[in-house]
Structure 1
Amino acid sequence: MMKTRGVRMYGKDDLRLEEFELPEIKEDEILVKIISDSVCMSTYKAVDQGVKHKRVPPDVAEHPVIIGHEFAGEIVKVGAKWKGQFKEGSKFAQQPALNYKGSPYSPGYSYRYFGGNATYGIVPQEVMELGCLLNYDGEGFFPVSLAEPMSCIIGGFHANYHTKSGSYKHEMGIVEGGNMAILGGAGPMGLGAIDYAIHCDRKPKFLVVTDVDDQRLERAKSIITPEEASKNGVELKYVNTKSIEDPVAYLLSLTDNKGYDDVYVYAPVEPLVEQADKLLGHDGCLNFFAGPTDKAFCAKVNYYNVHYAATHIIGSTGGNTDDLIEALEMTSKGLINPAVMITHVGGMNSVIDTVLNLPNIPGGKKLIYNTIDMELTALEDFEEKGKTDELFKALAEITKKHNGLWSLEAEEYLLAHGTKI
């Protein structure tokens, strides 16, 4: 047996940072060391709901589960059954959306010994059986942690569909060379979507990204520029709709009033959904990507257009293993940079406060390093903290070199010089 340190959930809003023992692995299990985990809003939702959440076991008070599902690390010990497929010392990625024999249970929500916010964990056999544990031979750990949210974004692009009159066969994916809108798109997942849209192999011709916050939009524009999009054959336009009297009319005018083939809603706001519906062109697909916590969340839809203009609405959540592989491959080739989503970095000791207060912490993705103790810190605050702390001084200098973004260089420095657990 060995000890691990991790954050476990005992019920609604009940998180505890503890040291506890892991049992010896069985022949069909794998022991892993977990280095990084990015905090997902889905974790906050699970903690906020406790046993009411479909993935949280009813006996969580007696058998607490390790939270976190966007994680990466190294394989420490391989059970006999998997010796030929996995090697000790290699890096791994994992797809948490298991759907094992119809069960909703998933890493980060449901398992006593397997979750992202722990120093060590035991991968259960069903993860390998489903092909959800992947070998990773690329650089760093945070790109793997961010590959999971990127796979959700990619899954959303693959989930959209379009129709052809007289045929009942749908064509999957966005319209290549079409008009696309990402509403509420200057947040972390929106940035990932913009990055993917302009670098994937099935691009729109025109992409408009809206938000109501100038600061978020300016940051997005500085990270993923219209010039970079143009190099890849995409016209990219950022729009703050807050001060526009008639946002729908303005956004439609950008398409010569033809409307949009693919519209993504990245914030669960009723007026935004209704705005998206009005932007759809003929055979337009609206993807409600943002997950609401309100089970009664509703918005008006124009059913005249559903009937006569063939508009349609879908929702997408999560991605499959193929989406994860695509995210990892594009990242390793430098086609996308998941660091665009990261705005905060912290250590294991910051997990509980981060998760419980996640909706109130501004910015994008919060990246956690499990082997480090460090308060959650915004990248933009590194320089100020660096005036009295050599670690942050060095990290500030590194992030400046990378356009203000987190990087492999920053990760390596933190893991080498941060306060070890």
Structure 2
Amino acid sequence: MKTRAVRLYGESDLRLEEFDMGELKDDEILMELITDSVCMSTYKESIQGAKHQRVNDDISEHPIIVGHEFAGIIREVGAKWKDKYQVGTKYTMQPAINIKGSMAAIGYSYEYCGGAATFIKVPPIVMEKDCLLPFDENSAFFEASLAEPMSCIIGAFHSMYHSERGVYEHKMGIVEGGKSALLASCGPMGLGAISYMLNCDRKPSLLVITDIDEVRLKRASELFTEEYAKERGVEIHFVNTAKVDDPVKTLRDLTGGTGFDDVSVYAPVRPVIEMADEILGFDGCLNFFAGPVDPKLSAMFNFFDVHYKMHHLVGSSGGNTDDMKECLKLAGEGRLDPAVMITHIGGIDAQIDTILNLPKIPGGKKLMYLGKNLELTAIEDFEEKGKTDDRFKELAKITKEHNGLWSKEAEDYLLANF
């Protein structure tokens, strides 16, 4: 049983290899993978090798398959699971399988199970923990791939909380109909957060988006127009905080001077964190979402307001299985479009260079089609490539019809023609 996969052997030592995984056991499932989106966590894991807390110490002898944002089709089911899983059905996976006393996760710790592969053997622990998740047969594979990063966003909003003075009970989630701000949030994860906040069941009445990159901010405002937000009952504003004299005053003025109920920070930058603190209102919750590389990152936080104005801080990293299920449901209903996160597509042969150079590649999510050999290509470059390749000419046409975004139509065309 052969597969083609990207495996990690050591620090920055990734290899694309074809190898035999052995026979399928009765308690395993064979999946053909179609898509895998590349996460910054995979970059961090790849440069750290065995030093990473989730990576096994013996990867030089037993390399692991990287990647954890994937979707595919079940091709063979071991006898133990015949009554629950059917051949030919579409599935994605919750990689954080939550084994007590272990940091093991899919894409970090398993020899034959990870996202950067044409075929994988799903270990029994995944099924036992109910981490193999079906998605709508009419949904695109890329939507299911992005359910994992979207679940991190969803989990962040679920982790925020509020309370009443003298009542010792936390009310989980953002304030429904409240005032929310997403700071430094026009990158891929920030765009996913905007999409979720405008389409979930617990929306704010006011949503303010900030960034200092005018190009990214303009693109976000084109994807999520005032009209689009208004149709969903939300007043939306986009602010370039680098172009205003007093960003804190500008942002607080948008709330009528009350400050925000919920503020999320999407860049691990001290001034952004401190700005978030300063714009909180009474019982305001600050969510530090951005994952820092610097273990000594710190910032000032007003403890007078913690004491007298009930300000509080939460941090979140990753989502749970229910968060992924929520994303898959919303995407299947057409209420959530994870495509806003994608800026590049490629094939499995482009995966190593993409992973190792990820911080240097501009744009959002890089989506890889695992059964294809295809250099990493920005969606905005389709038209230029289309001058010499009719397939990219057609992809340029399709993406233009979808507001410059990747889509199921584009995916279907790629799978059929590349």
User: How far apart are residue 25 of structure 1 and its match?
Assistant: 1.7
1:399 matched residue in structure 2? 399
Contact 2:136–2:332 (8 Å) recurs in 1 = no
Letter in 1 for 2:196: Y
Letter in 2 for 1:266: Y
User: How far apart are residue 136 of structure 1 and its match?
Assistant: 2.1
Q: Does the residue aligned with 1:353 lie in a helix, a strand or coil?
A: helix
User: How far apart are residue 12 of structure 1 and its match?
Assistant: 1.3
2:390 matched residue in structure 1? 390
1:77 matched residue in structure 2? 76
Contact 1:29–1:78 (8 Å) recurs in 2 = yes
Letter in 2 for 1:146: L
Work out the CA distance in 2 between the residues paired with 1:8 and 1:219.
35
User: How far apart are residue 5 of structure 1 and its match?
Assistant: 0.5
Work out the CA distance in 2 between the residues paired with 1:266 and 1:321.
22
User: How far apart are residue 412 of structure 1 and its match?
Assistant: 0.6
2:330 matched residue in structure 1? 330
1:133 matched residue in structure 2? 132
Identity of aligned residues (%): 60
2:177 matched residue in structure 1? 177
User: How far apart are residue 137 of structure 1 and its match?
Assistant: 2.9
Q: Does the residue aligned with 2:209 lie in a helix, a strand or coil?
A: strand
Work out the CA distance in 1 between the residues paired with 2:247 and 2:134.
46
Letter in 1 for 2:265: V
Residues 111-170 of structure 1: per-residue CA shift (max 9 Å, x gap): 110000000001111111111001223322111001111111111111100111111110
1:237 matched residue in structure 2? 237
1:260 matched residue in structure 2? 260
Letter in 2 for 1:185: S
Count of residues in correspondence between the two structures: 417
2:272 matched residue in structure 1? 272
Structure 1: runs of 5 or more not aligned: none
1:98 matched residue in structure 2? 97
1:344 matched residue in structure 2? 344
Contact 1:90–1:137 (8 Å) recurs in 2 = no
Q: Does the residue aligned with 2:239 lie in a helix, a strand or coil?
A: strand
Work out the CA distance in 1 between the residues paired with 2:33 and 2:413.
18
User: How far apart are residue 307 of structure 1 and its match?
Assistant: 1.1
Work out the CA distance in 1 between the residues paired with 2:225 and 2:200.
16
1:68 matched residue in structure 2? 67
Q: TM-score, normalised by structure 1?
A: 0.98
Residues 163-183 of structure 1: per-residue CA shift (max 9 Å, x gap): 111111100000011110000
1:289 matched residue in structure 2? 289
Q: Does the residue aligned with 1:242 lie in a helix, a strand or coil?
A: helix
Q: TM-score, normalised by structure 2?
A: 0.98
Question: What is the RMSD of the two structures over their aligned residues, measured on CA atoms?
Answer: 0.8
Within a 5 Å distance, the mapping from 1:108-147 to structure 2 comes to 108-138=107-137, 139-147=139-147
2:248 matched residue in structure 1? 248
Q: Does the residue aligned with 1:9 lie in a helix, a strand or coil?
A: strand
Work out the CA distance in 2 between the residues paired with 1:63 and 1:271.
43
Contact 2:91–2:134 (8 Å) recurs in 1 = yes
Work out the CA distance in 2 between the residues paired with 1:25 and 1:310.
55
1:380 matched residue in structure 2? 380
Work out the CA distance in 1 between the residues paired with 2:335 and 2:101.
35
Contact 2:135–2:332 (8 Å) recurs in 1 = no
